Chains A and B, each alone.
Chain A
Amino acid sequence: MRKYKVNREQPVKLPSKEVMAKYKDFSRLTHEYDNVVKRPKKPLYKDKKMFIFIIIVALLAVLIARSMAEEEEVQDDSPNGTEVTE
């Protein structure tokens, strides 16, 4: 959140080259870059949370596939391919 305020006194001073040099650090940037791009240390199957998540997704996929297959079967069994509504 930001709020603007009128500055009626001295104009805002810009930082000097020395100040900017203090924050300029390419080696830190490459280090951070390496942290972002490098592969995760833990393999997926060793990550508990991820493992449970994958199992849940797989279970859901199986359940959805099953219910779709059952629906198709019911449709195939009914005359003229329509569902029996009894």
Chain B
Amino acid sequence: MDKTKSSYQEDKALVLAAQKDARAFGGLYDKYFERIYLFIYKRVQDEAVAGDVCQDAMLKAMHNINKYEDRGFPFSAWLYRIASNEVNLYFRAQKKMVTVEVEDKHVKSVMLEIKIGSEESESDQDKLMKVLSNLKPEHAEIIELRFFMQYSFKEIAEFYEITEANAKMRLYRILDKIKKTWETNS
């Protein structure tokens, strides 16, 4: 997410222009398309699907640009949230199970954080994947942001438009839930 002051001012001007005339949304589209596409791609891991979901997210953003309110968070956070909702909608709509690959180093980092199992054990890693697969999409989202996409707490806070302390609390509650599920399953 872009954090510079000049980018914030630039976004403000682009948003104002798009609110006056939807066709001026092109400025925001050009600026953010690639970042949003990559964000979606990392979660769906399919180029064509990422392209479609990105287009849907941009369409929603363009349609709802008048509802956007500047609350002091970067405009990109609003876009990322729309994109994330679209990803969740995509997964919900799938009748077949969609497999998302997670690098083992990221799996290990989750295991280290919640102190469960042995990070080197493949069966423990697979077991954790099962627990994560059963999480609600909105719960899995924060785990993906923090551990699979390496977001800082500041970035997570901006994403949800909450404070950093709340972002930490939200994450640790879900990690706690994962730990409990892991323990009941063992």
Given contacts A24-B33, A26-B30, contact A5 B50 (CB under 8 A): no
CB distance from A72 to the nearest CB of B (A): 42
Q: Answer yes or no: B169 CB below 8 A from chain A CBs.
A: no
Contacts of B92 in A (CB 8 A): 1
Q: Answer yes or no: B107 CB below 8 A from chain A CBs.
A: yes
Query: Are A29 and B59 neighbours in the complex by a CB distance under 8 Å?
Result: yes
Q: Answer yes or no: A4 CB below 8 A from chain B CBs.
A: yes
Contacts of A79 in B (CB 8 A): none
Query: Are A26 and B26 neighbours in the complex by a CB distance under 8 Å?
Result: yes
CB distance from B6 to the nearest CB of A (A): 24
Chain B residues touching A, majority SS: helix
Query: Are A11 and B103 neighbours in the complex by a CB distance under 8 Å?
Result: yes
Classify chain A's interface size.
20 to 34
Query: Are B132 and A4 neighbours in the complex by a CB distance under 8 Å?
Result: yes
> Which stretch, B38-46, B68-76, B159-167, B170-178, touches the partner chain A?
B38-46
Query: Are A29 and B55 neighbours in the complex by a CB distance under 8 Å?
Result: yes
- List 9 other contacts, CB 8 Å, given A12-B42, A36-B63: A1-B96, A2-B133, A3-B97, A6-B104, A6-B126, A15-B47, A23-B47, A29-B59, A32-B55
9 A-B residue pairs with Cβ-Cβ distance under 8 Å, sorted by A, are: A4-B100, A6-B107, A8-B104, A14-B38, A14-B41, A22-B51, A29-B29, A29-B55, A37-B22
What 8 A-B pairs have minimum CB-CB distances, sorted nearest first?
Answer: A23-B51, A7-B101, A4-B129, A2-B91, A3-B133, A6-B125, A3-B97, A24-B33
Name A's B-contacting residues (CB within 8 A).
1-8, 11-12, 14-15, 17, 19-20, 22-26, 28-30, 32-33, 36-37
